[in-house]
Every structure is written in structure tokens, then in C-alpha cells.
Structure 1
Amino acid sequence: MNQTKTVGVVIPIYNVEKYLKECLDSVINQTYKNLQVILVNDGSTDENSLKIAKEYTLKDERFILFDKENGGQSTARNVGIEYFSGEYKLKNITTQIKENSLIEFELDGNNPYNIYKVYKSYKAFNNEQDLINFTYPIIDYIIFLDSDDYWELNCIEECVPRMDGVEIVWFD
């Protein structure tokens, strides 16, 4: 299948350490690979949700992780939509790219959802200049996935041809 359309996936996370790996593995293993994935940790209080999200963000350069104050699932989804719309100006607080590390960003300017930090894998950057000239992905569609759910292997590949003219797809 032609994979020219870029699909943005928004995954809100809150106290789902039990299910999160299965969810994220189902995204990574999709047969449709042209994905940009936003994980939004919505103030999880369990021990491992944020840790697991960081591990997967480090592993896959298509992922970006927002860590924010708890505000509910709708605010977490809004963070994803606003990121894909280019509404956030990210200020890099990591000065060097180190192998096997996460690059840390803070929001510069308006921060209505109290985002603490933003993380992206070092693999997404070729050099320090890339850190300064951070670019936002251009996406064609946004899909929401609950972090206690998962997708079948070819879910996105089956959906993309049917999404022409649709901007947001929500699985329930």
C-alpha cells in the first residue's frame, strides 16, 4: 500500500502501567509506518506509566512525549491536536545530543495545560543545529488511541484509504 499520508496518533496516558506496553507495541508494529505519535502523560501517579512512555519515546523517533499536570483525558487530547497544529514553541533545554538519551524541551510561551517537559529521542536529530531548528511534522489525519487499548496489526493500513476527507478518527 502507498504510505504517502502521514497519520498523527495521540495517546493520552494516565495510570495505565498494566496496559501501556501492549498499546505502544501495537502502534510500533503497525504495517502502516508513516506515523507520528504523541504520548501525553496526564499526571500519572503510578510508578511506571511515565517510565514506560520514556522508554518507548527513546526507542522510536516517531514518538514525542509530553509530561503534564493532570487535567483529564480531553486536555491530553487537546495537547496532541495543538502540537500537530504547530501551536507550541518548544525551547530545547538539552545542549548536546547523546546516544541513548532523550532530548528535553520546555514550552516557550503560553502553557494552558501545565506541560512540565517534552521529550524526543536523540535518534530524531542529526546534530545540535537540528535541536535549534526543531520542525513539526505535517500530518494528514489525527487518530486517538486510549492507552489501555491496542490496535490489530494492520488497523491503520485498513483505515487510511477510508479516511479521505476525514480529519480526526476516534476508535471506541
Structure 2
Amino acid sequence: MTDTPDPSDNSARAIAAAEALGLAHTVTRHGRVRSLEEAAAARGIAPRALVKTLVVRVREGDYRFVMVPGDREFSWPKLRALLGVNRVSMPDADTAQAVTGYERGTITPLGSTTAWPVVMDAGIAGEISVGGGGHGVGLTVDADALADVLGAQRADISE
């Protein structure tokens, strides 16, 4: 039987981006999981250290990557206040993929088809795991190093 590649696995692009940025990282592959807690366990980390990356629409043609610890949710009011806008929305799955090159559940700023600005929650610290561009693929990195290479804006955006 031949293994069929997962068409949503763009991990090679995310890993190449980390390498091109000089970002020290470890790749973990564990296959698909059903929850954040399951993913954290598969990666051998606490849920807080598994950082969720979402893409949000600020206005037509203007998006941001939003990164929050796995045990928290991002706060719409805090994000709107930070960005100085009255409205921020979550694009549908097709739009999210179109503007990042990644399917939901695999989104990462590393290797995105467009380098949208990154907003990283101030509580993200130490060794973390971020999406690696494919389901069940994570990149373990230092939070400060990641923020530096991405030029991330760090702020209290979660609750």
C-alpha cells in the first residue's frame, strides 16, 4: 500500500522559513489529534506552551497573525483596542487559507504566503511549540527568539 501525502501538509515551507530566519527549532511530528490537550501531550509540553496562531481580518486586504497560549483565548476587545479599530473578524476557512497558504489548524506565520504582521500575547514565554504548517507538525522554539525574527508586537491580548 502506498502512503498518500496529506495535501494540507505545508510543513516543508514552515521549516524552511524557520531555517532561513536562523530560528533554532525542533520539529515534532505526531499525526492528527482531536484537541489542543492531545496535541500538547503528543509534543510533551503543557497546554500553555502550545501556542495557537489565528489569522484575523482587520479590514479588506489587511490581516494579522494572532498568537496566544494554548490555555487562553484571545480577547476581541483587547485586540481591537490594540489595533485602534472598531471591528476585527475571523475570516472563513477558505479566506484564511488564501491569505496564509495554510489550512486552519496548521496556520503559522513561518512560511506564510504573505508576511502579515504578528501580534503575540505578552504571556507567551520560554520554550513553546507553534504550528508547523501541517496537521500534527509542531516547531519547538524560544518565544523571545520567535518574536524577534517575526518582528512581533507583544501585548496583553488574551483572557
TM-score where L is the length of structure 1: 0.25
TM-score where L is the length of structure 2: 0.26
